Structure 1
Amino acid sequence: MEQQVVIAGGGPVGLWLAAELRLGGATVTVVEERQEPDRRSRALTVHPRTLEILASRGAHGPFLEAGTPIPSGHFGGLDTRLDFGALDTPFPYTLALPQARTEEFLQERALALGARLLRGHRVTGLAQAPNAVTVRIQGPEGPYDLRAAYVVGCDGVRSTVRTAAGIGFPGTPATVLGFLGDVRLDSPPPPGFSVCGPSGGLMAVPLPGGTTRLVGITPDDLTATWPGDLTLDELRTKVRAITGRDFGLRDPVWLSRFGNATRQAERYRAGRVLLAGDAAHQHFPTGGVGMNVGIQDAHNLGWKLAAVLAGRAGEALLDSYHDERHPVGARLLESSRAQTALMTAFSPEGLALRAELGALLAVQPALNATLAERVSGLADGYPPEDPAAHPLTGTRAPDLAVEGSEGLFSLLRPGRPLLLDLAGETPAGPSAPGTIRHTGALLRPPAAWAGVRAALIRPDGHVAWAGTERDRTAEQHGH
């Protein structure tokens, strides 16, 4: 059977996209090379905006039960932490959760919604035609083809889909090689341990099962030359050089290096091929935001692609995916580069800069809040082209207390556009098929929502339109 969408890559991004597409009614096949889920967890952090996304589909419960909330984050490893507790969100914290558990929960959701997952199968190429894409796949029993209306590459920085589609991936090569070791410690440091000095920087993050992740950089790591795989002895030497002790590290579960190569796909869409996650952007893993931005890519794309396939929207809607998410990716790369500079500032001048910025964060709550909003993903929005549009247009809608509901996020769970009739007098609303209407006043409206009589909320939780005039209708402004 021809699939409407084939997704290359069954990591967190591909799995969330599959679930969103199924929620919108599309048939989906996820092709994943790994026979089994990877128990090594590259990502450990689920950020507030990602938790909001999960909550807007009623999928956040398992994450909250399994994860550990941490009411702070970091920018460039500065000693002064970012205060996530002050953020305007039901989830004012980062959630410490190994990626393996995240994938487990997302896979359960995708399969429960009817997605097909092919493990041990690998996309090897594709060929576009005017009305379909032929995807070439290598399976356990040999090569075969799948036809689909669209293909989405969620297959990482070495994306086969991106290469086969001829999409450029310009950027800069690695000049820094960080190190990572998941090990047991006989004498672990206290929770939240982080240090940076002339000999390098190190963070220690407790993991389930009694292991600890040690991640850091030394002045010797400011190189583009690959020195070979990380060994336990080398890890011990680096940790001792930075901290003066090795915490009794032993029994490694995973030892790895990672670089700061920074690249972004020139286009997130080429005809019937689209990209999301690491296939679209590569960067140094500062602040643990990579997986989160990828899931947010998928959340933007999923409802749009499903609407196009179901005939609820024209194909031009897919162009807005690149228009909205490419600038977010570009900001991610700039932030990552800036933080990399701070994390590798081992000279006396660099350490002085770190101390100065850390002191500013400690005494400037507004600066601290701005960086926290950016790192957490809560600041991301899609500015409208129309300068006369209401200021809320394109912004993320918070979990508004709406009369007759558990909150705005609960109203978004069907994954369809939502017309909020806040004054009880809005006409029929948008003509777009599938739009849900809810009538009820705002309880404790935020200042930015004062005077809003009606609003159209996109399935991804961003405001498509807001009106304050008694006779203005959302119907005039469409989808």
Structure 2
Amino acid sequence: MIYDVAIAGAGPVGLFLACELRLAGLSVLVLEQAHDLRSPLKRLPFGMRGLTVPTIESLYRRGLLDDIAALQSSNAGSGANNAAAAHWMNQPRRPGGHFAGIQFYHDKIDTSTWPYHRPGPAGSNMAVDLESLESVLAARAASTGVDIRRGTGVEGVDSSDDVVIIRTAGETFHARWLVGCDGGRSTVRKAGGFEFAGTEPEFTGYSIDVELAEPDKLQPGRHYTPTGMYTYARPGTIGMVDFDGGAFHRTQPITLDHVQTVLRRVSGTDVTVATLRLAATWTDRAYQATSYRRGRVLLAGDAAHVHSPLGGQGLNLGLGDAMNLGWKLAATLRGDAPDGLLDTYASERMPIGAQVLDWSRAQVALMRPSRSTRALEAIIRDLIDTPDGATYFARRVWGVGLRHDLGDGHPLVGCSAPDLELVDGTKLSERLRSGKAVLLDFNADAPLQRLANRWDDRVIYVASDAVDTMGLSALLVRPDGLVAWATEATPDPDEAASAASRWFGKAAPERAPSDG
């Protein structure tokens, strides 16, 4: 059998991409090295990830958000576990996020500066544990017919002009396209000959679950010290950063004695670790593939870019890759993609990835254990507590200001479409569930309807007024939720047709009017 698309990696990015491709009716194979998706590191507290506004909107548009929220709620366990996972929430002011551990607060954020942003189904952000997220995505993928092979990792790749041959330990698979979603040490990236360039790590980060002999020797919260940084949540959840150039990451076993030595050095106390229950390391290595496609092999998620987990941007970046790539790869396979459509995956997503890597590097710069860094931190701390500062950081951290370069035009072009409420009580996001584009026409303009009919296999035409049109008269929304065209004036069918042909290829000839 030759699959339309094979995906290496059954993490959130690979599974979400598989679901996107199945919306278009493609045959999809997912190969995953691990036998079981479950892991203590994917559960609270270490498995918690913050979802940005664009990610929440993407999951909502595909009808996945309620299932994720319900499952994570049932998996969260006791309130104590939740408190340990999000100890920073126990504060008199409501925090909106942080930059290098420096928090900004909701009471300082001026949302009026975001004229086209509307509150979404989960507010400005949402926390989710990786196990819940992966479970929901795996269930959706399996229910739609995705072939998921666990315990089957990719070991080699060969490709030709029309097929990719994927070798595993026990079997060989064939696919028209292969997407590497197999993490920062991606086998697909290495086998495909992709260049991976960036900056080496400055520290080894530790996520540990311990029992301390004298817990009161450490104060809860986040602390910068002359040798690093640590965060402590009782009874024994600790994250710490040791500026050793990343020397310890994956170089030797993580023992109790080593964890105690590092914790004492970073905290400046003689704390004693009685029991080491769980430990993992990470670094601030920041690398990005110099291209996201070589022939019939593509990269997404951590296979395409790695950076520190500071600020939780990695998962959101990867899911954004999947949402952007899915419909474009499907159109390419169907044969109705306009010239160069698949190339826009890299041209749109690589700049976003580069921004996130620099955002991560900037946070590392504020964490270095030096007097000059502490002086700079004090200035940033003052700025972030101003309305302008808090609004800027919220815009970046929440993803509200995320814009893809789709060319000139209305300010909404390239941005995530606002979830407009239509007069019939439905919302724009609900019209995107099928994975097709949407042409939303507030004036039921006949030329626009005729235009949409020519792309009716790829574009859904919706003629409806809205509770608040935000001054718009019409907008064209791509399958991934980005605005491709918008206007506040009387719609120009030629402009709309140009935008539609750019993204959805050649239209069918306009139908002759019916005699009846």
TM over 0.5: yes
Specify the code of the residue in structure 2 equivalent to 1:286.
L
Contact preservation (8 Å) 1:277, 1:293: yes
Structure 1: where are the runs of 5+ without partners? none
Q: For the structure 1 residues 439 and 85, does the alpha-carbon distance in structure 2 shift closer, same or farther, using more than 3 Å as the test? A: farther
CA apart distance, 1:399: 1.6
Alpha-carbon offset, residue 153 of structure 1: 0.3
Shift of 1:18: 0.5
Q: 1:401 aligns with which of 405, 418, 421?
A: 421
SS state at 1:74 partner: strand
The 5 Å alignment of 1:78-477 reads 78-80=102-104, 88=117, 89-90=119-120, 91-138=122-169, 142=170, 144-183=171-210, 193-204=221-232, 213-219=237-243, 221-222=244-245, 224=247, 228-243=252-267, 251-314=275-338, 316-344=340-368, 346-363=369-386, 365-385=387-407, 387=408, 389-425=409-445, 426-430=448-452, 431-432=454-455, 433-445=457-469, 449-450=470-471, 452-473=472-493, 474-477=496-499
Structure 2 distance, partners of 1:437, 1:6, is 32
Which residue does 1:58 correspond to in 2? 63
Structure 1 residues 423 and 458: alpha-carbon distance in aligned structure 2, compared to 1, 3 A threshold? same
AA in 2 matched with 1:195 = H
Report SS of the residue matched to 1:180.
Answer: strand
Whether 1:12 aligns to 2:35 is: no
Task: Describe the SS at the equivalent of 2:99.
Answer: coil
Q: Are the equivalent residues in 2 in contact too, given 1:229–1:257 (CA < 8 A)?
A: no
Secondary structure at the aligned position of 1:429 is classed as helix
Could you tell me whether the CA contact under 8 Å between 2:109 and 2:388 is conserved in 1? no
**Matched residue type, 1:171:** G
- 3-state DSSP of counterpart to 2:385: helix
TM-superposition CA deviations, 1:235-270 (whole Å, max 9, x none): 344445555668986544421221222111011111
Q: 1:93: how far off?
A: 4.4
C-alpha separation between the residues in 1 aligned to 2:329 and 2:150? 24
Q: Displacement, 1:163?
A: 1.6
Corresponding residue number in structure 1 for 2:34: 34
Change (3 A) 1:200 1:313: same
> Taking structure 1 as reference, are residues 223 and 119 closer, same or farther at Cα in structure 2, changes over 3 Å only?
closer
Query: Aligned with 1:316: secondary structure?
Result: coil
CA contact under 8 A between 1:262 and 1:333: conserved in structure 2?
yes
Structure having the higher Rg = 2
Q: Map 1:61-80; keep pairs closer than 5 Å.
A: 61-65=66-70, 66=72, 72-80=96-104
Q: CA deviation at 1:273?
A: 0.9
> In the TM superposition, what is the alpha-carbon distance from 1:172 to its structure 2 partner?
2.1
CA contact (8 A) 1:150 1:273 kept: yes
Q: Per-residue deviation at 1:84?
A: 10
SS of 1:403's partner is coil
Q: 2:296 is matched by which residue type in structure 1?
A: R
Name the counterpart of 2:51: 47
Q: What is the percentage of aligned positions where both structures have the same residue?
A: 35
**Counterpart of 2:201 in structure 1: which amino acid?**
A
Shift of 1:230: 2.8
Where 2:341 maps in the other structure, the secondary structure is helix
Q: Deviations over 1:2-38 (max 9, x none)?
A: 1000000111110110111111211100000111114
In 1, the alpha carbon distance for the partners of 2:219 and 2:56 equals 23
Letter in 2 for 1:23: L
**Partner letter of residue 423 of structure 1?**
N
Total equivalences in the alignment: 462
Q: Identify which range, 98-107 or 60-69, moves more after superposition.
A: 60-69
TM-score norm. by structure 2 comes to 0.82
Task: Compute the displacement of 1:193 (Å).
Answer: 2.4
Cα 1:241–1:224 shift into 2, 3 Å: closer
Structure 2 SS opposite 1:301: helix
| Deviation of 1:362 (Å) | 0.6
Letter in 2 for 1:403: V
Compute the displacement of 1:465 (Å).
Answer: 0.8
Q: Distance in 2 between matches of 1:110 and 1:84?
A: 41
d(CA) in 1 for partners of 2:2, 2:222: 51
In 1, are the aligned partners of 2:419 and 2:427 still within 8 Å (CA)? yes
- State the 1:52 CA deviation: 1.5
Question: C-alpha offsets along residues 217-238 of structure 1, whole Å, 9 cap, x if unaligned?
Answer: 145x355466733323333444
